[in-house]
């Protein structure tokens, strides 16, 4: 990459200016933002690189990032397919083909069902990826809801939180509980943006809940 690559610097600055910090999964920050979007150090943190490393990329320094680092930057900046291709081209890195997949089925280890059933004095929920409910003991079913009675694809804590009436009457701090469920999903998306089941869940919640993105 040539020195003083203004095109790359301009692209990175524009891309991070268009990212909403909250939607990127960053915690609330009381500091005043002088410009919209993410700060350099926030992009670096989301991409798993140092702030100095990212700053040098924006400055067009002669750096040759690995394909993995470039993919992490694409995810941190929320780039679409065209943006991903353009960034890879600017950096001279071959883009990996886009993947649409769902990971393997989630299963509990043998004996775990018996263990949570034995903890009868406290409600116990076992959550898997994207907050799927994998198991619940008797107390949890009585306090929350009987997830076993739902279709398998509906047994999800975030889905129940936003699309059912029960949580709103159950939790005095429903907004805080809902916000925590959203944060968990954001971490899932950040960890594997191509997981189809997670993306389908997020799309469903955005389509059916006016509160999910707020």
Domain segments of the chain as ranges? 6-91, 112-208
Taking only the tens of pLDDT, the chain with its 214 residues reads 443 367 888 888 888 888 887 777 666 666 777 777 888 888 888 888 888 888 888 887 777 777 878 888 888 888 887 888 888 888 777 655 444 445 555 666 667 777 887 887 788 888 888 888 888 888 989 889 999 888 888 899 999 999 999 999 999 999 999 988 888 888 777 666 677 788 888 888 888 888 887 6
Report the CATH fold assignment for 6-91: 434 Repressor (Amino-terminal Domain) (1.10.260)
Most distant CA pair in the chain, distance: 65
pTM of the model: 0.52
3-state secondary structure of 110: coil
> What single string gives the DSSP state of each residue in 27-69?
PP--SPPSSSS--HHHHHHHHTS-HHHHHHHHTT-S----HHH
With a CB cutoff of 8 Å and minimum separation 6, the contacts of 50 are 44
Give the span between the Cα atoms of 68 and 73, in whole angstroms.
9
């Amino acid at each position: 990459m040539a020195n003083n690559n203004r095109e790359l610097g301009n692209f990175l600055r524009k891309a991070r200016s268009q990212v909403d910090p909250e939607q990127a999964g960053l915690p609330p920050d009381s500091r005043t933002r002088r410009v919209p979007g993410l700060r350099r150090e926030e992009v670096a943190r989301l991409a798993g690189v140092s702030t100095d490393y990212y700053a040098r990329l924006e400055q067009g320094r002669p750096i040759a990032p690995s394909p993995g680092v470039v993919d992490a930057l694409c995810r941190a900046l929320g780039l679409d397919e065209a943006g991903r291709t353009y960034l890879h081209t600017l950096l001279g890195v071959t883009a990996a083909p886009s993947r649409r997949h769902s990971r393997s089925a989630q299963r509990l280890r043998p004996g775990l069902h018996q263990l949570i059933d034995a903890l009868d004095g406290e409600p116990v929920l076992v959550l898997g990826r994207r907050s799927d409910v994998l198991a619940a003991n008797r107390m949890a079913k009585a306090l929350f809801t009987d997830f076993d009675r739902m279709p398998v694809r509906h047994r999800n804590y975030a889905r129940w939180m936003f699309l059912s009436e029960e949580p709103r009457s159950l939790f005095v701090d429903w907004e805080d509980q809902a916000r925590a469920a959203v944060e968990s999903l954001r971490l899932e998306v950040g960890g594997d943006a191509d997981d189809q089941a997670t993306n389908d869940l997020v799309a469903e919640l955005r389509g059916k809940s006016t509160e999910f993105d707020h």
